[in-house]
Amino acid sequence: MRPSHQIASGRAVLAAEVSGSGAIGSGDPVIFLHANICDRRMWRDQLDAIGAGHQSIACRAIAYDRRGFGETRAEAEEHSAVDDLMAVLDATTEGRPAILVGCSQGGRIAIDATLRYPASVRGLVLISPTVTGSPEPVLPPGIAALLAQQKDAEAAGDLDRVNAVKARLWLDGPLAPEGRVTGAARRLFLAMNGIALRAPPAGPDSDTTPDAFRRLGEIAVPALVLCGEHDFPHIRDRGRQAAALMPQGSHQVLPGTAHVPSLERPAEVTALIAGFIARLSA
């Protein structure tokens, strides 16, 4: 059983867990940041494997639930997602720079934190990252129609339908067949996003870096950008562009996956993250 932690940040108590020999106090820290459609459980396979020394790397793997997700408790207040991340780093890394692994909005927070606190970050793994200030997408008609279905379900207050449409868009992929992903991965997605949809408002995030896309060239640490082949076309394009703009960026497409490949291909994603960590250590 992994050690659990309750980390205070403002009026929130962030639920976190740590995996690794000795947990706090040993191994290079690796912080996992979840997508807006999930919680820290999207990383459970990676947390187990990286913390257990996958490929003989010595790491302390940390994942936490952001405000409005999973087991974190928060009162509505203006807050900073980057400051929440720094509270997690302060509580779990003993001042050592961390490798940040972020998916979607988790990737956006990782990028913003790296731009604001470069000395606290030694590497980035970004999966389908959001980057503020990136070009506005042009959506194919089929995807626009699915997003309209989601908007109609939201207006009707039909959260189960919203959840189903989001699974269609983000888990299956907007241009892939509906129900492409089945079994435990789909059940976990619906459970995680169901909690997020029903969570009380957490308050506005005050610290989005509006020009992050333009400033990607300032990120000097090694960065691996991963994108699923079934993800939104504009997200795939943005991932390629982000990797090209970062001086030490690299890019890889994950076949047969969409926006959350850690659920679909956990062993493959773990191996890529572990390989990246091993190269940094070398």
Q: Which two tokens stand for residue 191?
A: 């459970």
Final residue before a domain boundary, out of 149, 182, 198:
198
Which one, of 195, 208, 205, 204, lies nearest residue 68 by Cα?
195
State the CB neighbour count (10 A cutoff) for residue 117: 14
State the CB neighbour count (10 A cutoff) for residue 78: 11
CA distance 205 to 200: 14
The owner of tokens 């191996």 is 271
**Side chain identity, residue 42:** M
Q: Do 192 and 226 belong to one domain?
A: no
Q: Do 104 and 239 belong to one domain?
A: yes
Q: Do 30 and 96 belong to one domain?
A: yes
Helix 159-166 / helix 141-155 crossing angle, nearest 10 deg? 160
Q: Do 243 and 109 belong to one domain?
A: yes
- Which H helix or E strand runs over 213? none
Q: Do 25 and 162 belong to one domain?
A: no
Q: What is the pLDDT of residue 225?
A: 98
Q: Do 157 and 249 belong to one domain?
A: no
Cβ–Cβ under 8 Å, residues 166 and 37:
yes
Q: Which residues of 256-278 are buried (b: 16+ CB within 10 A; e: fewer)?
A: ebbbbbbbbbbebbbebbbebbe
Q: Which two tokens stand for residue 170?
A: 């983000």
Q: Do 207 and 132 belong to one domain?
A: yes
Query: Running along the chain, 282 residues long, what does each successive block of 10 average in pLDDT?
Result: 82 93 62 98 94 68 97 96 97 94 98 97 98 94 96 98 98 97 98 98 86 97 98 98 98 98 97 94 80
CA distance 153 to 117: 39
Domain that holds residue 96: 4-136+201-281
Q: Do 69 and 153 belong to one domain?
A: no
Q: What is the radius of gyration, based on Cα positions, of the chain? A: 18
Q: What is the pLDDT of residue 24?
A: 42
Q: What is the pLDDT of residue 34?
A: 98
- pTM for the model: 0.95
- Which H helix or E strand runs over 230? none
Final residue before a domain boundary, out of 198, 213, 235:
198
Q: What is the pLDDT of residue 51?
A: 77
Q: What is the pLDDT of residue 206?
A: 87
Q: Do 190 and 268 belong to one domain?
A: no
Q: What is the pLDDT of residue 281?
A: 83
Q: Do 205 and 248 belong to one domain?
A: yes
Q: Do 32 and 111 belong to one domain?
A: yes
Q: Do 31 and 108 belong to one domain?
A: yes
Domain count, the chain: 2
Residue 62: helix, strand or coil by DSSP?
Answer: strand
